[in-house]
Structure 1
Amino acid sequence: MCFSRKGELDNAYKVFKKMPVRDTVSWNSMIAAAVRSSRPKEALILQTRMMRSGVEPDCFSFSTTLSACARAGALSHGKRVHSLMKEKEVDYESNPILCSALIDMYSKCGEISMARRIFYNVKRLSVSIWNSMISGLAMHGLGSDAVQVFEDMTKEGFFPDEVTFVGILTACSHCGMLDEARFYFTAMQQDYYVKPQAEHYCAMVDAMARAGKVVDAYETIKAMPIEPDAAIWRALLGPCRRHGRRDLAEMALGQMRQCGGEDYVLLSSMYCSVKQWGRAESMWRVMKAKKLRKAKGLSWFEVKGRVHQFKAGDRSHSKYEHIVRILVELTRRAKEEGLVQVTESVAEESKKSFLLAPKTSAMKDL
């Protein structure tokens, strides 16, 4: 645990392998270390090895493994853990930690209906269970349902906490419910005495910016009693691109202490859209000088119990050519139906404009 808290998972694993006897606590510690280090697939492998070694899992084992399943999108593995809990007659319905972990796992693995079924069939005796359901509905874009769960929560006498309001504000933000977001942000402070933290301000800025109120979002950031972090500025940066507010985008990028490659690419794309080639080039120069690259997108899904991961531009999968053929056919059908992604068309137009722009020597190098 000492090594894992420092982020030294490999050193933790070396100690673990040297142990002459590994009990439930040591296995749990190793699995939790893998989850904490954002290596959920390794955590699932460890959990499987733990079961094969004959060590009996406890509630902590189950909750940690469910967390790994949620992060890896391993629905089949999560279902097996759920079945194992039933087989061993674990009273998870009365355990808030396990209930929350199950709801979180099913929500993040796309089974929001199952998450709801568990939520309404267990004893909702802890705020954490309500929070998991609200957050799950938020990530699925079910803002009205999240609001209803919040109202039911307060009617049953539960006092919402900081996590609750992060969930409800995020739900409102993702569903364009700006008025509701403002209502809950005010109620959070006046009715429930919850002091807004960076996560709450980030959700509010995101809600306003998504609704096109980028100036209001900027004013909210300026009025914050705490220093805005990169996540808050980034919540403003993306919508500035969509609404053509280059001035605010430049200001947001200038305020961010730690900028990623994707932030510079976003601003460069904005300059391209208005044919300001020099400024677009300067963004790439900055990236080159700072040795920054745009982080590749990562997606994954599960087929027959196996998790398949893909990065942007990745051709290593054994079924790559077959997958591409399917995607090409799906794209063709979508276009026949008149469906075109706005983000795709804007990005393509920016790309064409950039390619047609006069090339300087620096641009040729890039």
Structure 2
Amino acid sequence: MITRRRTHFILLWMLRATALAAPVFAQQAPASSASTAMPEMDMGSMPGMDMLHAQHVNKTSKPATPARATSAQPAAASSSMGGMSGMDMGAMPGMDRSSTSGMPGMKTSHGQHSAPAASSTSTPAAPVLPPGPADPAAYLAKLEAMPMTGMDMADNPRFGKLLINQLEATRANGASGQAWDAYAWYGTDFNKLAIRTEGDRAGGRVEAGDIEALWSHAIAALWDTELGVRHDFGIGPDRDWAAFGVQGIAPYWFDIEATGYVGAGGRTAARFKAEYELLITQRLVLQPEFESNLYGRADPAWRLGSGLSDASLGLRLRYEIRREFAPYIGVVWQRVFGGTAGFRRAENKSVFDRQLVAGVRVWF
């Protein structure tokens, strides 16, 4: 009797312990085991879920307000729904379907995992243009009649330049001297006033020099005509000439000057000059120069014969410390011809000279 009562007591104690331990094991079990034990659940059969099921069937109907949980619905029922598969999260009021894409194990109403929501890019609105004038012709006429003070473009401005091409000391046959060659102008690209001068000095006095004032007018690209006067000064009496000629850049970038002169008493003369700049480097420049003078009649006061009077060829090598300032060294060969050579021989002077030169080239 006692054994039977003891056995009954042990069985009751085991049943009670099992009932108390069941909720603890249910909470510690993983979601995968719960989903294996319960693969699918009819959400419509759960208390309070029939309204959600009706909303899933009829998508066009307005979502019903979810019923509040009562005391009859245990709180454990809602907590056990976390690991259930097949649950339509999109049908729940207030639940965004795109927010379930990052939750593992959540499925859409069609049983497929939800894709990440695509980022929407707003298209910029087109600018709103102001309405055009009602009468375009009248509008343009009004614009043309408006004063445009200060809006004119200076496409032909005035500007000037001073170039001292040669300012040098010379040495020939044991004698020292100086020489110069300069050119200045002011005006526009089409018309300008030009002043040029050249000459040489020896023994403390100017042997031969001239200065010209010319009106230069453009007749073509890189070519100008010149018209003006020339004045000679030096060992002979002063001479005045009317001057006319052309100046410009010939093919292959040769700088050319060709000028004719007419003086008093039927005197005539001509001068031809050609220069070229050979860039050895960006700063080191070799400049060859050729010049010749011709006279229509002899001028004993200036010891000049008729015809080709003289010719010279010079080579000057300069280094441009700046573009505006360049020292140079060089050599110049000079030769006189015809009647001019006869005057030189009569004075026991050489008809051919070789000069060593050193100077500076400056422009402003």
Query: If each structure's helix is expressed as a fraction of its own residues, which one has the higher value?
Result: 1
**TM-score calculated relative to the size of structure 1:** 0.20
Query: If each structure's strand is expressed as a fraction of its own residues, which one has the higher value?
Result: 2
**TM-score calculated relative to the size of structure 2:** 0.20
Larger-Rg structure: 2
